Chains A and B, each alone.
Chain A
């Protein structure tokens, strides 16, 4: 079955450490997105990519980086520059008007 896979489900980061969250889709979708969700808040867009080898900053890109070397993959790196990284991270993809398909999320905690 087609879908989006995010891994790991839970991730712990030490202070000053970079971590990478994986997002893979086999839906043949061109566009992919990363959102951050904090308790009691909506989704905030971090980065998005409309096509391979191209991506744009969203509303809260500082402290994050992405790459889009393959259509299927859109990994997100949370760098040490992100001072408050503890959150639930959601990856999504879309073909267009049908809306987004979401992964099951990665919960990142700073220890």
Chain B
């Protein structure tokens, strides 16, 4: 069935790069998404990638997609304390714009 998995926690030093990983199971997924959630708030769309792309870069964010291994990653360059949040990976599955979310990765940035 449909499933999206992420590691639950990542700790990085301020100024370093962060890499958050995600695996998904639905090989027919057409779009994959990264969302950011700050405490007590809704989810904010960071970026998305179409399944026929390998990479997408948007300022400090780089998304890599390995479709063969069904692996998606989000790299945040020069990580700042304001990047501390929960990051959700999601795949678009089925014909009804339905998104399947991972459990989220909590990113902690320390000085």
Residues of A within 8 A of B (CB): 4, 6, 31, 35, 40-43, 45, 48, 50, 56, 90, 92, 94, 96-105, 107
Distance of A51 from chain B, by nearest CB (Å): 10
CB–CB B33/A50 < 8 A = no
Interface of chain A: mostly helix, strand, loop or mixed: strand
B residues sitting closer than 8 Å to A (CB atoms) are 4, 8, 30-31, 33, 35, 40-45, 48, 88, 90, 92, 96-99, 101-104
Could you list 12 further interchain pairs (A-B, Cβ under 8 angstroms) beyond the known A43-B101, A99-B31?
Answer: A35-B101, A40-B8, A40-B103, A43-B43, A48-B98, A90-B43, A97-B31, A99-B35, A99-B48, A105-B40, A105-B42, A107-B40
Which residues from chain A contact B31 at a C-beta distance below 8 Å?
97, 99
Known contacts A97-B92, A99-B45; A45 and B104 CB within 8 A of each other? no
Most buried by A among B33, B40, B99, B102: B99
Contact B96 A50 (CB under 8 A): yes
Q: In the bound complex, do residue B41 and residue A100 qualify as a contact, i.e. CB atoms below 8 Å apart?
A: no
Pair B97/A90 contact, Cβ less than 8 Å: no
Are A41 and B103 closer than 8 Å at their CB atoms? yes
Cβ distance A10 to chain B, nearest Cβ, rounded Å:
10
Contact A104 B48 (CB under 8 A): no
Q: Give the residues in chain B near A41, CB-CB below 8 Å.
A: 103
Is B33 in contact with A99, judged by CB distance below 8 angstroms? yes
CA distance A104 to B96 in the complex (A): 23
Q: Do B103 and A102 touch across chains, with their CB atoms under 8 A apart?
A: no
